[in-house]
Structure 1
Amino acid sequence: MIFDKVRKLDVVFDSPEADSAPVFSSGDVVSGKVLLELSAECRLQSLKLHAEGFAKVHWTESRSAGSSTAYTQNYSDEVEYLNHREALLQADNGGITVLQAGKHEYPFSFQLPEETLVTSFEGKYGSIRYWVKVKLHRPWAPVKKIKKEFTVIEPIDINTPALLASQAGTKDKMARVWYRNSGQVSVTAKIDRKGYTPGEVIPVFAEFDNATSRSVVPKAYVTQTQTFIARGTMKQKRSVVATLSGDVVGARCRETWHGRAIKIPPVGPSIIQCRIIKVDYALRVCVNVPGTSKLCLELPLVMGTIPLHPFGSRTSSVSSQYGMNLEWLRMTIPEQPEPPPDYSTVVSGDVVEQDARPLPAEEDFAGMLGRPFSAYIQEFRLRPPPVYSEVDPNPQPSMRPRCMTC
């Protein structure tokens, strides 16, 4: 049995929190260290690091070529997003490096590409992964390897005009019984915006008009659709991540949802920038129509990572923000102006009593003129205003228009 002198080979990423795995996005610097522990003196050729990132898809389909012959068709494709190599330890001219027994650390650091990467993802027919692989080369010994994955999440800010726009639609279908029309069922639904983040609640506004002779039950779903593309062929996997059931809508009746809440569970963000893997979300408002297939109205959703800003979009244009502010003003300005406050509510009682006190009778007009002029200003400055009234106390006389023929 060959004694292995390498006791430990590990990769540790720098992370603000020791207990949580680091998360990166495009343009970030990935740093850490490679830990090497030797039980005895060891001769090494090199210690190399290779950072990679790929989106890969693969699935198999069986196809029939006749009554008794069948063959299998494989579909696969990949897209490279990261490829970085560096040597952490390597002697000049391909020589040998001797390391003593004990622990050794080799720091590393590299920057992710500035162009937009794709969020890490694990699906049934494909994945998007990023990892760091370290290889230790020794003379007359097998290569020792270790691979450590890290997560990339590309931010999706829902505070943009496109994702803040409301989504609405209408759909109807005719129910049939024994090849005869028995009435029509229609669905109208609306949501406040297109972009949401996990944990938020979507208020659903909908109206269900059941003109058939049978009762129907409306439901709403938040669905996730994973799409895998290879060689011009597409493979999809759809799953329901949240459900909302409504009340029974009787025959010839109408039901209205005034903001029924459906909560988004912890799910991954939308993936829309990868050529071979896409992850889409939608709100489906459905009704089982008797005698025909299910009636479903689908409103697209985008699952983001940056939640809604309290003051709206930070990236929207000035014109769109100005228009939004005007709408806000139109909704909040009252139709009738409020009357001004009463004089007694803004002036203390002592001042009012002092102003209402009559002047001494013995002061004649000549004596008053001898007083300083500022005294008159002080007297009239705190006089109470007239009583508020919406009727003009001094109306202007109406003038008849001049006749041009006179």
Structure 2
Amino acid sequence: MGTAAMQPLGCVRSLSVELDANRAWGAYTSGELLRGRVRLELRGTLRLRALEVQARGRATVHWLESHSVGLNTVYRDYTAYQTFLHRRCQLVLDNGEVTVLQAGRHEFPFTFQLPETLATSFEGKHGNVRYWVKAKLRRPWATVKKVKKEFTVIEPIDINTPALLAPQAGAKEKLARAWYCNRGQVSVTAKIDRKGYTPGEVIPIFAEIDNCTSRAVVPKAAIIQTQTFIARSTKKQKKSVVTSMVGDSIAAGKREVWHGRALKIPPVGPSILQCRIIQVEYSLKVCVDIPGTSKLLLELPLVIGTIPLHPFGSRTSSVSSQYSVNLEWLSSIPEQPEAPPEYSAVVSGSDAEQSLAPPCRSDLGSILEGPFFAYIQEFRFRPPPLYSEVDPNPTSDHIRPRCMTC
């Protein structure tokens, strides 16, 4: 990683802190080892009393609010802190004696164990979460020399958990009014296949918008980031649009259906849910612009994680998102299909040949790409029952055999 250096200070040419890059993207997570070194370059001999290094990390919230008291304006200060990391190590002990260092370069390695619970690094309008390593150089009859090196922490959020793989759905309706006149109702129903996503993924949105008003409406969808700062039992929020899309205009009395309308997640920071004073949350909002009245809003919660969906989970999720709206009846199909019937239970002849023929791909359409086609294939490739010359259902005398030429 980079080096933080100070200007030449007397016989001290430079003082810097360097961290070992533990991975390509240079971020740390909870429970890891933070390794590095303090580098000291001297022009001449240095009398050193102590050299200390600290690893710190905390969340800070601060904002001011103005309040009118009579003719005066009073400002209230809202400040809060939460400490996640506070470690220190003495590289040169202060035991009352002076250590003499010769001119040249000197390195002092250090190692810190990061705690098991940390919050992701964050920079917001009214607060932040920061981590740094600070070195302090103490000399006799001289001011303390300090240097600081910041580092990034990204807490892992695995979306492969039952809570984050659960589908999210909701419905809302609104009565459009203008000048005390009822102009009809607008309703929206939306669903997404899971709650947890990672940046770069596409969210397929399934929605139905009914426009029973006398004017055209416009549906929209957006991902909203909500930053919440808490101090002195008071909350302050900042909301911003991460990405959005606009649907086609829906004429009066018409219905619009989204069969998995795609909304891609841009590069954004993960959700922060483990901090007491700072929270970063996401949501998917489906809204309908109604002329002459306020918007109809439907909000579905989202969690932006760091560990993407496993390949098996991704396939299952994509299949469910593709067919959960218009093929809900497929959920009744058993996971382990029963064995096919005997040939004796099937009508023989040309009718049987047609019924046992493989399904035509053009007739099934998009179903061939889903799990239902695999269910059919399992019947097609099973071996037939054993052959027997004895007819298990012989024809009786009072029933005339069917003529195959008729």
Query: Against the structure 1 CA distance between its residues 340 and 26, is the aligned structure 2 distance closer, same or farther, given a 3 Å change threshold?
Result: closer
Instruction: Give 3-state SS (helix, strand or coil) of 2:313's partner.
Output: coil
Deviations along 1:288-337, whole A, 9 cap, x unmatched? 12222111100000000000011239xxxxxxxxxx9x976575423993
- Structure 1 unaligned residues grouped into runs of 5+: 314-323, 343-384, 399-406
Query: Against the structure 1 CA distance between its residues 39 and 248, is the aligned structure 2 distance closer, same or farther, given a 3 Å change threshold?
Result: same
8 Å Cα contact 1:30/1:112 also seen in 2:
yes
Matches within 5 A, 1:251-400: 251-312=252-313, 331=372, 332-334=374-376, 337-338=379-380, 386=387, 393-395=391-393
8 Å Cα contact 1:287/1:296 also seen in 2:
yes
Selected match of 1:8 from 9, 14, 19:
14
Instruction: Give 3-state SS (helix, strand or coil) of 2:308's partner.
Output: coil
Figure out how many residues of one structure are paired with residues of the other and give that number. Answer: 337
Q: Which residue matches 1:100?
A: 102
Instruction: Give 3-state SS (helix, strand or coil) of 1:333's partner.
Output: helix
Q: Which residue matches 1:358?
A: none
Q: Which residue matches 1:183?
A: 184
- In 2, distance between residues paired with 1:271 and 1:3? 41
Aligned AA (1:231): R
Q: Which residue matches 1:375?
A: none
Q: Is the aligned partner of 1:46 residue 2:50? A: yes
Selected match of 2:35 from 31, 36, 47:
31
Q: Which residue matches 1:61?
A: 65
Deviations along 1:107-158, whole A, 9 cap, x unmatched? 00010112x2111111100011111110011112221110111111111000
8 Å Cα contact 1:205/1:258 also seen in 2:
yes
- In 2, distance between residues paired with 1:129 and 1:289? 43
Deviation (angstroms), 1:16: 4.2
Aligned AA (1:395): N
Q: Which residue matches 2:165?
A: 164
Query: Against the structure 1 CA distance between its residues 386 and 121, is the aligned structure 2 distance closer, same or farther, given a 3 Å change threshold?
Result: same
Instruction: Give 3-state SS (helix, strand or coil) of 2:266's partner.
Output: coil
Deviation (angstroms), 1:200: 0.4
- In 2, distance between residues paired with 1:244 and 1:394? 64
Query: Against the structure 1 CA distance between its residues 107 and 216, is the aligned structure 2 distance closer, same or farther, given a 3 Å change threshold?
Result: same
Give the TM-score normalised by the residue count of structure 1: 0.78
Aligned AA (1:60): L
Matches within 5 A, 1:224-239: 224-239=225-240
Aligned AA (1:338): R
Instruction: Give 3-state SS (helix, strand or coil) of 2:156's partner.
Output: coil
Deviation (angstroms), 1:70: 1.6
- In 2, distance between residues paired with 1:266 and 1:327? 40
- In 2, distance between residues paired with 1:387 and 1:56? 83
Q: Which residue matches 2:355?
A: none
Instruction: Give 3-state SS (helix, strand or coil) of 2:376's partner.
Output: coil
- In 2, distance between residues paired with 1:149 and 1:167? 38
Q: Which residue matches 2:86?
A: 83
Aligned AA (2:59): A
Identity %: 60
Deviation (angstroms), 1:223: 0.6
8 Å Cα contact 1:13/1:22 also seen in 2:
no
Deviations along 1:334-372, whole A, 9 cap, x unmatched? 399327679xxxxxxxxxxxxxxxxxxxxxxxxxxxxxx
Matches within 5 A, 1:191-270: 191-270=192-271
- In 1, distance between residues paired with 2:104 and 2:309? 52
Query: Against the structure 1 CA distance between its residues 336 and 145, is the aligned structure 2 distance closer, same or farther, given a 3 Å change threshold?
Result: closer
Give the TM-score normalised by the residue count of structure 2: 0.78
Matches within 5 A, 1:101-120: 101-114=103-116, 116-120=117-121
Query: Against the structure 1 CA distance between its residues 397 and 87, is the aligned structure 2 distance closer, same or farther, given a 3 Å change threshold?
Result: farther
- In 2, distance between residues paired with 1:394 and 1:261? 56
Deviation (angstroms), 1:71: 0.6
